[in-house]
Chain A
């Protein structure tokens, strides 16, 4: 059996990226401004991290107009949802291991 640490996804391991992915997993899509306010990060940080997630195929970026105003929508791809599920499972296993002395002694 592999150690849960090895199942952690390096792309969403960074705290801001994990927050972006976790927030988007709860909705169909969210616009850039709402996500920025929710996560309390700067425009540039959110832009940089969401581009990294898009490159990894975890996130889809859609540009649209609401009236005359351009709006950027972010949503998770199926790959992103799967990666988050695996990552969260690994995190839960890591927290569970510490509370179970039998598991930690066998490592």
Chain B
């Protein structure tokens, strides 16, 4: 193999890597909407508002996180480190949601500050994921 062949091989390797790197992005807008849905659902089924759906409410509150897990795990191309990244983000989201709902119902059922803070925080993992997907798309 001479220098020209080596250059050609390097160029083809770079091209292959670049073309696959651009694939597998999730829509950032969809992730933001899921984050908003998470916030609204926590306020709806937790805050001293309105509905107290019992365990059905709890399942509905978790639904955006389940959707995030399923969508991120079933995409055709998983970008580098995104398996771990989404596992961490989903884990943080589940923890915030469960803590907000469980402690909120038990100790702060009438505290708007608790529910609003918890609901907003529960949306953050979705917004982080949206930002990561958006910046990936801009870079590629």
Chain A residues proximal to chain B, CB less than 8 Å: 5, 8, 15, 18-31, 33-35, 38-39, 66, 71, 88, 91-92, 94-95, 97-99
Contact = CB atoms under 8 A, between A and B. Distances in A.
A31 B73 CA distance: 12
Contacts, number: 88
A30 B20 contact: yes
Contacts of A28: 78-83
Interface stretch (B2-10, B56-64, B107-115): B2-10
Contacts of A19: 12-13, 16
B137 interface: no
30 contacts: A8-B1, A15-B9, A18-B12, A18-B13, A21-B13, A22-B12, A22-B14, A23-B19, A24-B20, A25-B17, A26-B17, A27-B78, A27-B80, A28-B78, A28-B82, A29-B83, A34-B20, A34-B23, A34-B76, A34-B77, A38-B16, A38-B23, A66-B74, A88-B10, A91-B9, A92-B6, A92-B10, A94-B1, A94-B6, A95-B10
Interface residues of B, number: 27
B78 A30 contact: yes
Given A91-B10, A94-B6, A95-B6, A39 B16 contact: yes
Nearest to A97: B3
B27 interface: no
A26 B83 CA distance: 13
A27 B23 CA distance: 9
Given A27-B77, A28-B82, A30-B77, A38 B20 contact: yes
7 tightest Cβ-Cβ pairs between the two chains A and B: A98-B3, A22-B13, A94-B6, A26-B17, A19-B16, A23-B16, A28-B78
Contacts of A91: 6, 9-10, 13
B30 interface: no
